[in-house]
Structure 1
Amino acid sequence: MRISVPSIPLQSTRPPAAHVSAQEAVERVANFLRPGNVGILTGAGVSVDSGIRAYRGSDGRYMNPNYKPLFYHQLVEDSPAGVAFRQRYWLRSYLGYPAIRTTLPNTTHFGLAALQHAGIAPRIITQNVDGLHHRSLGLSPRQRTDKILELHGSLHLVHCKHGHVVDRDLFQNWLSAANPQWKAFLDETERTGNKPRTNPDGDVAIEHLGTAYDSFIVPQCPSCMLEDRINSVHKPDVIFFGESIPNAIKTRSFEIVEETSRLLIIGTTLATYSAFRLLKHAVELHKPVLVLNVGPSRADTVEEIERIDIASGLIIRDVVRAVLGSSASLDPTIAHMLESGVVKPPVDDTLVQQAADPR
């Protein structure tokens, strides 16, 4: 079986999306939204202002040239190699999850939440697994809501191979109890602020530590033990490379495109086909599509759509005010949303912080 990491075409028959002024971008996006009943599809670029790195830079290439994602079959395989893959994944995820857990929604999350509250954009489909769209609506990232469809799942739940589901915070505690030396290391990074580089999926880069993963213990599932089974195969509720999206999620994503009148795509290169096919579906249905993204994307190959090259965080509040008019200030919920949101983009991606190896 050969599975490759999705990439985007860096050449297109269309010229790149033109850089426009913030004022022009506000007018164009507001005009697109005004008719209402807009479906929104978001990607990693939406969470950058919250401090979560996007996978790709402005040229469309992976920002971490050494990026080697774990594939689904590697994570779940029943073999010594599978055990090693799970040790590697869960150690890196254990160190990275606290940063995801404490991350706050940014101005784009709250701007889109305001559009949802006003009924302009009733549904959001997100490729992100960070739960920040939920938080901008005042929901727990573990809550299910028909307002947000998580196309690729969520980091905030974990399930074993026999289907027992636990809250990620509880699973994090299990990992801490099983690995006290790494709990001490994590506490030290929190105390000093000398934290490893965190990726959008909660994984961290720790190659510079020269760390061996074979001492990390992935705990047994307590529910399986009660059923007289020994099982330490756990997986976050996230779609891995090489794993199929559940049919119910796939079907619902198509239904949202069909139910809405137009599609706004924000902060994604659409490299994964699960997202790109939603754009294609909207085009096949002759629905207007606007892509708001920095740099090249797979959308550049589609003639029928409109594109704007600008970061959503630079314009989203003004877009919402332009669309909603006086209600943007008179509705207390919307007014609060438009005053909320962090703007804390990650530090220079080329900087790798050093830390002591706790082995």
Structure 2
Amino acid sequence: MWMFIVRHIMETLESWISPDWAMPQDRVGLMIGSPERPVQHVLIALDVTEEVVKEAVDTKAGLIIAHHSPLFHPASHLRTDTPEGRMFKELLGHDIAVYVMHTNFDVAPGGMNDLLAERLGLRQVKVLKETWREKLYKLSVFVPLEARDQVFMAIGDAGAGHLGNYSHCTFQAEGTGTFWPREGAMPTIGAVGELTRVPEVRLETIVPERKLQKVIRAMLAAHPYEEVAYDLYALANEGEALGLGRIGELASEVTLSEFAEMVKERLDLQGMRVVGAADQKVRRVAVLGGSGAQFMEEAWSMGADVFVTGDIDYHEAMWAASRSLALIDAGHHIERVMKARVKSYLTDAYRSSSYPLSISVAERERDPFRFML
């Protein structure tokens, strides 16, 4: 019986979140296990811990998709009398694969920082720190007139021709295609040994690099010809800007105290650390999931009234206070918003599949910090 394997799920994820978007030295992709491992259940977690691995064993998960890599820091030893060693022993003993999307998920459209910006109700959202410009390609394919619509819809549905809030953008020009089928050919139109002239349309569109292979596969599957004539051109046009953090505007100005209460509620926090006067007015908000203090200057230079991030230390807080940049240290654990998003994406991707694959989010992981007031 056909089954999903890790590689299938990797390909689905990487058509959405490219590993190439990760920051230098980051560790993303398949960290543990074989891409050929069969999978019937996937567990999604922020961190790979002993508790999460036990949950994976109990739910018979063949794959854990995590945000933080269990191998981020090189191991000097692998002793099974340590928590880390016991965890790896369980993973290997139960043949559980681990796939990581870290900073590539952070920068992605619809990824970590867009999720946080959406939770906070930000408008006119922009990238805080650009890290990547996506490459663009021009695809030009020659199609017989009767197959124009099926090829056009196939490549548009696969992601070609998306410009801003418009999809399926193409230019189409009619002309005459010629070909001479030789011995061994199996032409859809014409006959072997005869020069054939066919009314065709040249269909041109733009394709972002991350969707290029998917678009080409869709084009080849929809095209009626045995041999498809098409051209690809690398473009000098700049693609979408990707990067860490987001900055945007609240619907209306509020006090820092009011905004902090909103952050606490919308990110489901027990508490947080705040820098700034309670009555300070805020409207322009920067947010960066994880440890974002190193991007504080970008937030300040782009006019943020408040910066929401995690893991801020004393000296960084003092720097911000001296510049009247309010801070909300909401903790690193706010990144758990990724779990529901990844589950939603995979559920939608495999909704029409007739093969068994269940997906769940880890319930046993906890923020290591608690607040005492």
Which TM-score band (shorter chain)?
A: under 0.3
Question: Which has more strand, going by share of residues?
Answer: 2
Q: Output the TM-score relative to the length of structure 1.
A: 0.25
Larger Rg: 2
Higher RCO, 1 vs 2 (CA within 8 Å, ≥6 residues apart): 1
